[in-house]
Amino acid sequence: MNQITIATRESALALWQANFIRDRLMEAHPGLEVNLLGMTTKGDQWLSAPLKEIGGKGLFIKELEVAMLEGRADLAVHSVKDLPAFLPEGFSLPFIGFRDDVRDVLLGCPGGIDQLPQNAKVGSSSPRRQAQLLAHRPDLRVESIRGNVQTRLSKLDSGEFDAIVLAQAGLSRLGLNRDDAYPLAIEDCLPAPGQGALGVEILSDSPVAALLDKLLDRNVVRCVEAERGISAGLGADCALPVAAYAKANAEGEIYLQALVAESDGSAILRADGRGDNPQALAQSVLGKLLDQGAQTILDNARHD
């Protein structure tokens, strides 16, 4: 292949990610021409309700997948944390890599969560973040906030919220350095599966997979596979308070942490484990969570 097209959402962050992968592909394959196809998805258009109420993470990728099925694009670039645990039939995720800072960051209060005023209004549409914030500060009012990074920051700066929580990776990639930013320790706010990593989605039989091999970081792939094994095993999506983070040591052994929480933070179940095989490790940690009653918590969350 000497010419390919990337389907991308048109937010500043999505375009940064698409251009970043474009440049890496062209560096790895001199003479390859890579174009961008900008698109607006239903997830970008429907901002008045929490994502879990209007269809979940798939709303941000469906139009991109249709473009691939119709032959208008060859691949799509995503933040892995924004991908559903299972892709639609006919699609695959052959590339995961270029992982940035995995932490969440509190904006609006540089002193951290303990310095927020009593009953502060915090913007986040993530049940995972909400549960962990409320476990630490039950008095907080965590309310839904939608839109791209700039839209959310403008809502904070206008006084609509006392603070908001975003992914540090997105801020770093956009070059946004703010004096009111306070990165949350992983111990205080365990990330979403795949947070900070980029993923490339293609049709399962696409020859583009061969072009991506030179860009792979095997340890990032293995760690994110372990994390996504937790969300897949729990049938989790954006509506459920599930977190997972894995890191590999110099010998390649993976350490995986995961949690399942009540949405109000009243109960948080944690489990961890070490191993060499991402899938087996995920199953082991998943079993520990289920033994503690994770299924009941998730069933309650789905009912709510």
Q: Any idea which residues carry the catalytic annotation?
A: 82
- b/e per residue 129-150 (b: at least 16 CB within 10 A): bbbbbbbebeebebebbbebbe
Sheet holding 141-143, edge to edge: 141-143, 121-123, 163-167, 104-107, 181-183
Closest C-alpha among 302, 238, 303 to residue 52? 238
Q: What are phi and psi of 71, to 5 degrees?
A: 80, 10
Question: CA 213 to CA 162: how far, in whole Å?
Answer: 44
Alpha-carbon Rg of the chain, whole angstroms? 19
The pair phi, psi for residue 119, each rounded to 5°, is 60, 30
C-alpha 211/C-alpha 288 separation (Å) is 39
- Residue 29: name the closest of 220, 215, 218 by CA: 215
259: Cα within 13 Å, side-chain hemisphere: 24
Structural tokens at position 52: 């879990």
Structural tokens at position 167: 């992914």
